[in-house]
Chains A and B, each alone.
Chain A
Amino acid sequence: MSRIDRVVFGDNQFFGINHMSQDKAQEQAERFADIEPIFGVYDQAFDAGVRAVMLNSNERAIAICDRFRARKSEYPSIAWYPSIPYPHKYANIVAEKGMVGALNAMLFAEGTGSALGKIARGGMALATLDAVRLMKLLVDQEMGMFRGLDVRVVFLQNIVTDLMLGYDQAEILGEYCAHIHKAYGALPGLITQNMPLLRRKLIEWGVRDVVICSSINKIGYLMSPGIDAYVDALSANDGNAYPMMAMSTLASGAIPAPEAYAFINELNVQSVVFGASSRRNIDQTVDLIGRRE
């Protein structure tokens, strides 16, 4: 039995993210500008049997989490798969204020009285340069919005995972994983565009019980260094130590769903996260992913 849900419902469609078409992304952003249409789609996903939701900690997710908490009885019990942080928030701060300015802005974001603010004011984390402690505080800040929800896996976004991977940061990634286990009783997850390298490094560092989420699709789109390395890594993988979650399974729509999931279902992949915004696509996808023996 897998440690994670086979089918996880993603959120890209709600937030104007479409890697294939900026026009489509814009259309979706307009359709889901209000929260009601978002919940209309969630209802369809729950009707289709979905019981797991991935949600990025962007500012709009706050209202979504609030509603799930406030109307808990109206929904089935849902396992949550948050992904943190919202990278554009930090990217924009860095673009505007530079690296050091951004660090200060992040530390004081919740006022000098907050845990982060106290540390920044005392200069503790910066003076001793305890990046691990800083990382834990930033994680806790991002996780605030998910309080009271049943969190199963906490994912680190690929921009952060892969930056740390490039720096060969065993310590920071390892401590992230330990912190998620300990503070949230959840499995740590790492989203990456470099799955074979990340998996090899995690094994080398002795960090296990980590969910790895990466693009996995038939045409090798966003699969560095290449599709063969992915197929090899998956077939060698212990899905208990490193449960694998596939994203971008349709390669942003380049692969028809039946073909896409016939490929995925042949692989040693424990879970699939997908986004869709019509009942037809949701039903079809859930059915196709579920066909695995």
Chain B
Amino acid sequence: MSDTKLKLAIIGAGRMGITHQAIINTHPEVEVVAIADPSTLITKLLSKYARVKTYKDHRSLLEKESLDAVLLCTPPALNREILHEVHKRGLHAFVEKPFALSAAHGAELTRLFEDSGLVNQVGYVNRFNDMFVRVRDLVGAGLLGTPLRFRSEMYSRTIIGEQGEEGWRATHASGGGAMYEMASHAIDLINFLFGRPDRVGGTCLTKVWSKQVEDIVAGSYFYRSGLTGSINVNWSDPSYRKPTNKIELFGTAGKLLADQHGMKIFLTDAAPDHGLEAGWNQRYITDVATNVPFYLRGIEFTAQLCHFIDCIRGRAQSRCSFADGTAVLEVIDEMFRDAVAFAPAAEGVPA
């Protein structure tokens, strides 16, 4: 461990920015030196109680502070410009998903950071969930035989009433909507398990409460290997108390159902190497859970930030890079195009 602490700034002190700050504050190798947020209320509270320097925008922060890295938690439409600045100053960057709003911008930022050897990470937190990591290991080990079908689903009661038209969440142009904000997680989980689909189809974007953006995202994915699957994401479902993320996988040798808390595996033949019997097996989060140095809102939130620091220190290779974030944006771009082709009357879909 190096003697000097990494100097880090947080740009955007919304819900994620504040969560990240509380977590990274407890990291022994990090010093949070400054925060930028346009809200005077937030910056005053943070400067008074969290004793950090505050700025109302990223420009003055980046100009005045000498830093090693930033955590970027701004509305996604702002990220491209900020990341160019961050890159110019040679800083490592952790960015909240979806990190950019098009695959073209994602690819451009990936090139910039990779060519300069700067650590770049996107906050797709499922890649740090113990259960989904275990699912990936099992699928990778061929436990299900040849994978043939999958289903990736997410539900929550995030938007369950009339929506105002103000704020960045109201439009696609600023990064709002269930596709960017929520389906991106379900898509990344598919990419994490199987790689990016070769083609998308049958995309449906449905409004429940929002006026300009979708509240439900559904569609199909196709791979040249013969693997196919579907996605169903709905953030206007009041029957869910907490956000729920689940997947179902079917292969020639068995079937697997998992959420963040547990998995059920059905196998045609026993797999003694994995301690699994023929027929149904149950695994709980308690069977696979690891502890983190500091817990807030879920082990994965701390694990992903510790990983970012490990990457900067050269102890790890990025498990969720800008390239991974760009792969999600490629799928999203295609789904938006597909939705227009599929339903020409659909409104609010970027051309």
Contact = CB atoms under 8 A, between A and B. Distances in A.
B39 A20 contact: no
Nearest to A168: B25
Contacts of B295: 162, 193-194, 222, 224
Contact of A163 (B22, B48, B167, B289): B22
Interface stretch (B13-21, B217-225, B270-278, B312-320): B13-21
A40 interface: no
B149 interface: no
Given A20-B285, A21-B262, A159-B297, A166 B25 contact: yes
A162 B296 contact: yes
B15 A95 contact: yes
A101 B159 CA distance: 15
Nearest to A219: B286
A221 B241 contact: no
A95 B160 CA distance: 11
B284 A20 contact: yes
A254 interface: yes
Interface in A203-260: 219-227, 251-254
Contacts of A167: 21-22, 25, 49-50
B49 A221 contact: no
B293 interface: yes
Tell me the dominant secondary structure on chain A's binding face. Answer: helix
A98 interface: yes
Nearest to A221: B286
A254 to B, nearest CB: 4
A166 B292 contact: no
A126 B288 CA distance: 45
Contacts of B5: none
Contacts of A25: 241
Given A163-B296, A222-B295, A225-B292, A98 B241 contact: no
A163 B295 CA distance: 9
Nearest to A19: B261
A166 B284 CA distance: 28
Interface in A171-196: 171-172, 193-194
A131 B49 contact: yes
Contact of A16 (B23, B157, B241, B293): B241
B167 A98 contact: yes
5 contacts: A100-B42, A163-B296, A193-B296, A221-B285, A222-B289
Interface of B: 13-15, 18-19, 21-23, 25-26, 39, 41-42, 44-45, 48-50, 157-159, 161, 163, 167, 241-242, 244, 246, 259, 261-262, 284-287, 289, 291-297, 302
Given A167-B49, A225-B291, 16 more contacts: A21-B262, A88-B242, A91-B15, A94-B14, A162-B22, A163-B18, A163-B296, A167-B22, A168-B25, A171-B49, A197-B26, A197-B294, A220-B291, A221-B286, A222-B295, A252-B285
Closest 8 CB pairs of A and B: A166-B22, A254-B286, A193-B295, A224-B295, A225-B293, A251-B286, A221-B286, A162-B296
